[in-house]
């Protein structure tokens, strides 16, 4: 375990969406976020990312399971749905900088533009970037607008604890959806900055989003956090783990079995205090964790491979 620097002024966090029960992969990422934070003397925070999808009762289930596996946190969890005014303040700042523009494109419009020759896959082609006021007024009468960031870079570089220097593309991504809901890429940047989060530990499916988020943070005058994108949990078919894969939640597997599986996949002893004493990010697995339901009966039949 690396030397502890003492109490750190920053924080790490875990930020689930309350759309259902946490599965073993979610719990593994939460444990890693806690280990990264505690091993560096940081505060550990929880944030409920409920702007988009929320199932009744899911938040309470998730907080219960996180406590059952031994995690603690240093402040009461916040909910993004309570912070809309903060996001609008950030949008107003960007609008005042001339950094926003209205976009009227449908998903079909974007998909068709992306299939055009010489267009980079997955990048917004800037269709609405230079519309005249007359064109915007006409389109407003047809459908509500989303608001996009007017980016002036093609890519941005971050440092990731697990992946090293990572340079990724940045396009004019959406900050406010056309239904009035704040987009994830804005909310997460504002929340991390206002909560003092300077260490972001999350699944490596979000690595590609980090350069755009870091760029947005720099535009808003926020410090860019350090990142550690960790491998996902996958089912035997190599797909992201989900409830449909069977016995993959804490209720299915049982607390002790779940901790044994998760910590075993990390090469750590199956309890938080002992795991913290041996935790070293340099020794973490770099490949995905394959979670395999074992043959047999009952809910505790889960095997894991790395």
Flag whether pLDDT at 142 surpasses 50. yes
Flag whether pLDDT at 53 surpasses 90. no
Residue found by looking up tokens 């073993």 in the block: 24
Specify binding-site residues for ATP.
243
**Domains observed in the chain:** 11-79+231-305 (3.40.50.620), 84-187 (3.90.800.10)
Specify binding-site residues for Zn(2+).
103, 105, 124, 128
Give per-residue pLDDT as tens, 195-210: 999 999 999 999 999 9
Nearest partner of 289 among 232, 206, 228, 205, judged by Cα: 232
pTM for this model (two decimals): 0.90
Cα–Cα distance measured from residue 177 to residue 298, given in angstroms and rounded to the nearest whole number: 44
Flag whether pLDDT at 114 surpasses 80. no
Flag whether pLDDT at 258 surpasses 50. yes
> In whole angstroms, how far apart are CA 169 and each of 156, 201, 234, 261, 283?
6, 21, 26, 36, 29
Q: What mean pLDDT comes out for the span 136-161? A: 96
Q: What mean pLDDT comes out for the span 142-171? A: 96
Cα–Cα distance measured from residue 300 to residue 283, given in angstroms and rounded to the nearest whole number: 28
Q: How many other CB atoms sit within 10 Å of the CB of residue 122?
A: 10
Q: What mean pLDDT comes out for the span 270-295? A: 89
Flag whether pLDDT at 12 surpasses 80. yes
Q: What mean pLDDT comes out for the span 225-245? A: 90
Quote the pLDDT of residue 301: 37
Quote the pLDDT of residue 6: 52
Band the pLDDT of 115: cuts 50, 70, 90.
Answer: low
φ and ψ at 294, to 5 degrees?
-85, 150
Cα–Cα distance measured from residue 19 to residue 50, given in angstroms and rounded to the nearest whole number: 8
Flag whether pLDDT at 41 surpasses 80. yes
φ and ψ at 295, to 5 degrees?
-65, 150
Quote the pLDDT of residue 109: 85
Quote the pLDDT of residue 244: 79
Residue with the bigger pLDDT between 114 and 135: it is: 135
Quote the pLDDT of residue 117: 58
Residue with the bigger pLDDT between 269 and 296: it is: 269
Which distant-in-sequence residues (6+ apart) come within 8 Å of 250 by Cβ?
21, 22, 24, 27, 65, 68, 69, 258
Quote the pLDDT of residue 245: 76
Band the pLDDT of 293: cuts 50, 70, 90.
Answer: low
Quote the pLDDT of residue 305: 32
8 Å CB contact between 16 and 58 = no
- Mean pLDDT of all residues in the chain? 90
Specify binding-site residues for L-glutamate.
13-17, 49, 184, 202
Strand ranges across the sheet with 233-234: 233-234, 289-293, 302-305
Q: What is the SS3 assignment for 156?
A: strand
Quote the pLDDT of residue 113: 74
Specify binding-site residues.
13-17, 49, 103, 105, 124, 128, 184, 202, 243
Query: Beta-strand (E) ranges in 238-300?
Result: 289-293
Through-space distance between the first and last CA atoms of the chain, rounded to whole angstroms: 22
Q: What mean pLDDT comes out for the span 254-280? A: 95
Residue with the bigger pLDDT between 299 and 246: it is: 246
Q: What mean pLDDT comes out for the span 133-156? A: 96
Cα–Cα distance measured from residue 168 to residue 146, given in angstroms and rounded to the nearest whole number: 24
Flag whether pLDDT at 221 surpasses 90. yes
């Amino acid at each position: 375990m690396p030397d502890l620097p003492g109490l750190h002024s920053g924080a790490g966090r875990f930020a689930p969406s309350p759309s259902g029960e946490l599965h073993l992969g979610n719990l593994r990422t939460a444990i890693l976020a806690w280990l990264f934070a505690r091993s560096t003397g940081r505060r550990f925070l929880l944030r409920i990312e409920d702007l988009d999808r929320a199932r009744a009762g899911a938040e309470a289930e998730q907080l219960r399971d996180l406590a059952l596996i031994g995690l603690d946190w240093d402040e009461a969890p916040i909910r993004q749905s309570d912070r809309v005014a903060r996001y609008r303040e950030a949008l107003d700042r960007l609008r005042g900088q001339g950094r926003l523009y209205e976009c009227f494109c449908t998903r079909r419009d974007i998909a068709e533009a992306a299939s055009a020759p010489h267009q980079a896959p997955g990048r917004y082609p800037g269709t609405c970037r230079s519309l005249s006021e007359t064109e915007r007024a006409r389109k407003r009468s047809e459908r509500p607008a989303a608001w996009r960031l007017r980016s002036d870079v093609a890519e941005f570089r971050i440092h990731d604890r697990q992946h090293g220097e990572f340079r990724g593309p940045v396009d004019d991504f959406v900050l406010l959806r056309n239904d009035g809901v704040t987009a994830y890429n804005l909310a997460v940047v504002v929340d991390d900055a206002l909560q003092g989060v300077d260490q972001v530990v999350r699944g490596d499916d979000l690595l590609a989003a980090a350069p755009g988020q870091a760029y947005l943070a720099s535009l808003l005058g926020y410090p860019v956090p350090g990142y550690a994108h960790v491998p996902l949990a996958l089912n035997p078919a190599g797909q992201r783990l989900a409830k449909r894969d069977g016995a993959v939640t804490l209720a299915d597997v049982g607390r002790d079995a779940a901790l044994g599986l998760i910590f075993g996949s990390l090469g750590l002893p199956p309890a938080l205090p002992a795991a913290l004493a041996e935790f070293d990010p340099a020794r973490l697995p770099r490949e995905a964790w394959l979670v395999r339901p074992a043959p047999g009966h009952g809910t505790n039949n889960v095997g894991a491979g790395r």
